[in-house]
Amino acid sequence: MLDTNRIRKFFPAIESGRILSNNAASTQVPIQLSDLLKELIVQYDNVHRGQSQSSIVTTEIFESSYDTIAQFIGAPSRKNIILYRNTTEAINSVMYSLMTEFKNGDNLVTTFMEHNSNYVPWYGLTKEILPKFGINVECRIVKFDKETGQLDLNHLASLVDEKTKLVCCVGASNFLGTKNSIKKISKIANSSGYNQPNGEKKSYLLVDGAQMVPNVFVSIKELDIDFLAWSFHKMLAPFGVGALYAREELLEKMKPFLYGGDMIAEGMVSPEKVEYNTLPWKFTAGTPNILGTILSAQALRLLMDFSLNPGEFLYFMTNKKLESADIKIVMENIEAHEKALIGEALKILEEIPSLKIFGPKNPEDRACLVAFNYPGISPFKIAEELDKQGVESRAGCHCATLAHHYYELDPPASCRLSFYVYNNIEDVRKACLAVKEYIEYIENTN
Ligand SMILES: Cc1ncc(COP(=O)(O)O)c(C=O)c1O
């Protein structure tokens, strides 16, 4: 289990008295990263664009950040990691890069539990972009069970066929909390028989890992994923950087998403021909988010240290390779901690008569978040009242708009509490008891 008491001391936001319970949106930044930012600001220069010591050193730290990120998910090397602004941009980059590969009559499969980031790009591609070129591609949507919040894998299997170029699904839903079985989904995608241009006979699998990578152990090799997208602002880093993992052979063949400087091979631009840089820089057009990249990699290293032994820095600001055995322990600690928190949250919230709690009942099956509605009270009103008690929640559709319509919610909204590594059981109790007290107050005054 995590030593939350020690971890909490590193977060000025907690020291200031906030009850941080909207972590599925974004997490808070530890003091070590804000100190590091101050140090870097006086040392840095642009990367790949200077001969000064400053530029050389910044380039080294920047490039090695890609190694850290690759190691964290068990990817073979930095060549598999492309950095963008966030999960949304990473998924869009796949959409744009694969756009020219779709053939008339193809289909792609996504689910009703997706964040808009992993539905709207596919809507745009299949309903707006490809038809303009006379290419018709069907976008098929997999159902989930409204009671259990589980994805209907039989329905998924029935929608995937030899015309399915791509299967897209969320690793863990940011509304239902459901953790999907990626291994089972990748098996279905792998056996579709679709003829990919590189000769492979399978559908590609793209996983939206925004709520998965920060919370569970991810090993690319074990899960057999072709594309994985996630954001670092949900795992202790500041805003601004998201990652795309992809298999090297796919990235080698794929069209660049953005064109311009630094993504070209040095000197290889002429009116007739442009040659692209080696991976991963082929996908890094323009000056990247240098500081954000360094802080994101160091956030992973800190997460390792916080989970293993808070206050001791085995990984943070070192060149130590992230050992997969350690990553497993780190993420299993985090999962165990989150199960305890979400178990407590469910226990308290389930005591509220008529409260509709969305998603799996068993904490084993959920990410560390819970969304709910109470008949006759707007989720926005609940969130406002919680805020008056110092409890930070989020009301709305959480960009899981399809799923809210699937439940026929009007307005398409729910109130959500979500926790992370620095939350303790008291935070959960305070947040959930505030929900209970407010609803009891309304019931008693009506
Ligand atoms: C499941 C899921 N996918 C995608 C996103 C989008 O992430 P970003 O805003 O960093 O692009 C989120 C953010 O809440 C999410 O929870």
User: What atom in ligand 1 is closest to the CA of residue 87?
Assistant: 11
In a domain, 191, yes or no: yes
DSSP assignment string, 227-294: EEEEEGGGTTSPSS-EEEEE-HHHHHHSPPSS-STTSEEEEEE-SS-EEEPSTTGGG--SS--HHHHH
User: What atom in ligand 1 is closest to the CA of residue 233?
Assistant: 10
Of the residues 180, 211, 239, 244, which should be mutated to test ligand 1's pocket, given the most ligand atoms within 8 Å of the CB? 211
Which domain CATH number covers 437?
A: 3.90.1150.10
Rounded to the nearest integer, the mean pLDDT of the chain is: 95
In a domain, 408, yes or no: yes
- Ligand 1 centroid – CA 323 distance (Å): 27
Tokens in use for 157? 């299997």
Report the pLDDT value the prediction gives residue 7, as an integer from 0 to 100: 96
pTM over 0.85: yes
Report the pLDDT value the prediction gives residue 45, as an integer from 0 to 100: 81
User: What atom in ligand 1 is closest to the CA of residue 117?
Assistant: 4
Amino acid at 342: I
Share of the chain above pLDDT 70, in %: 100
What is the number of domains present in the chain?
A: 2
pLDDT at 43 over 90: no
Share of the chain above pLDDT 90, in %: 89
**Looking up tokens 């165990």, which residue turns up?**
336
Task: List, for residues 139-164, the tens digit of each pLDDT value.
Answer: 999 999 999 999 999 999 999 999 99
- Ligand 1 centroid – CA 91 distance (Å): 10
415 is catalytic: no
Report the pLDDT value the prediction gives residue 387, as an integer from 0 to 100: 92
In a domain, 306, yes or no: no
Task: List, for residues 295-350, the tens digit of each pLDDT value.
Answer: 999 999 999 999 998 889 999 999 999 999 999 999 999 999 999 999 999 999 99
DSSP assignment string, 404-426: HHHTT-SSS-EEEEE--TT--HH
The protein residue with its alpha carbon nearest to ligand 1, atom 14, reads 25
Active-site residue (options: 169, 399, 415, 432): 399
- Give the SS3 label for residue 55: helix
pLDDT at 441 over 80: yes
Task: List, for residues 162-176, the tens digit of each pLDDT value.
Answer: 999 999 999 999 999
User: What atom in ligand 1 is closest to the CA of residue 242?
Assistant: 10
Same domain for 42 and 22, yes or no, is: no
* Residue at which a domain ends, from 278, 295, 312: 295
Please state the φ and ψ torsions of residue 245, each to the nearest 5 degrees: -95, 140
* pLDDT-derived band at 25, boundaries 50, 70, 90: very high
- Residues whose CB falls within 8 Å of the CB of residue 386, separated by 6 or more in sequence, listed in order: 392, 393, 415, 431, 434, 435, 438
- Give the SS3 label for residue 389: coil
- Residues whose CB falls within 8 Å of the CB of residue 443, separated by 6 or more in sequence, listed in order: none
In a domain, 302, yes or no: no
Task: List, for residues 365-417, the tens digit of each pLDDT value.
Answer: 999 999 999 999 999 999 999 999 999 989 988 899 999 999 999 899 999 99
Same domain for 221 and 129, yes or no, is: yes
- Ligand 1 centroid – CA 229 distance (Å): 9
Same domain for 280 and 340, yes or no, is: no
Same domain for 222 and 191, yes or no, is: yes
Whether the CB-CB separation of 211 and 174 falls below 8 Å is answered with yes
Task: List, for residues 290-300, the tens digit of each pLDDT value.
Answer: 999 999 999 99
Task: List, for residues 88-141, the tens digit of each pLDDT value.
Answer: 999 999 999 999 999 999 999 999 999 999 999 999 999 999 999 999 999 999
Same domain for 389 and 280, yes or no, is: no
CA 157 to chain centre: 24
Report the pLDDT value the prediction gives residue 191, as an integer from 0 to 100: 97
Same domain for 77 and 195, yes or no, is: yes
* pLDDT-derived band at 265, boundaries 50, 70, 90: confident
HSE-up (13 A, CA, CB side) for residue 437: 11
In a domain, 301, yes or no: no
Which domain CATH number covers 83?
A: 3.40.640.10
- Ligand 1 centroid – CA 88 distance (Å): 7
Task: List, for residues 69-95, the tens digit of each pLDDT value.
Answer: 999 999 999 999 999 999 999 999 999
Report the pLDDT value the prediction gives residue 57, as an integer from 0 to 100: 85
- Ligand 1 centroid – CA 237 distance (Å): 14
- Residues whose CB falls within 8 Å of the CB of residue 281, separated by 6 or more in sequence, listed in order: 48, 262, 263
Range of the domain at 384: 4-28+324-445
In a domain, 315, yes or no: no
* Residue at which a domain ends, from 295, 315, 346: 295
Mean pLDDT of 412-437: 96
Residues with CB under 6 A from ligand 1: 24-25, 86-88, 115, 117, 170, 174, 208, 210-211, 231, 242
Hey, which residues does 366 pair with through a beta bridge?
A: 178
* pLDDT-derived band at 42, boundaries 50, 70, 90: confident
Same domain for 17 and 40, yes or no, is: no
Same domain for 195 and 122, yes or no, is: yes
In a domain, 309, yes or no: no
Mean pLDDT of 59-66: 94
Same domain for 18 and 39, yes or no, is: no
Please state the φ and ψ torsions of residue 251, each to the nearest 5 degrees: -65, -35
* pLDDT-derived band at 251, boundaries 50, 70, 90: very high
CA dihedral of residues 265, 270, 273, 274 (deg, nearest 10): 30
The protein residue with its alpha carbon nearest to ligand 1, atom 10, reads 86
Hey, which residues does 19 pair with through a beta bridge?
A: 391
Of the residues 87, 93, 236, which should be mutated to test ligand 1's pocket, given the most ligand atoms within 8 Å of the CB? 87
Tokens in use for 368? 């560390």
The protein residue with its alpha carbon nearest to ligand 1, atom 13, reads 25
pLDDT at 446 over 80: no
Distance CA 277, CA 283 (A): 8
The protein residue with its alpha carbon nearest to ligand 1, atom 15, reads 210
Same domain for 210 and 354, yes or no, is: no
In a domain, 319, yes or no: no
Same domain for 113 and 202, yes or no, is: yes
User: What atom in ligand 1 is closest to the CA of residue 231?
Assistant: 10
Same domain for 122 and 242, yes or no, is: yes
- Ligand 1 centroid – CA 395 distance (Å): 15
Hey, which residues does 208 pair with through a beta bridge?
A: 170, 229
pLDDT at 21 over 90: yes
Output the CA torsion sign for 54, 55, 58, 64. Answer: negative
Residue 243: left (phi > 0), alpha (psi -120 to 50), or beta? beta
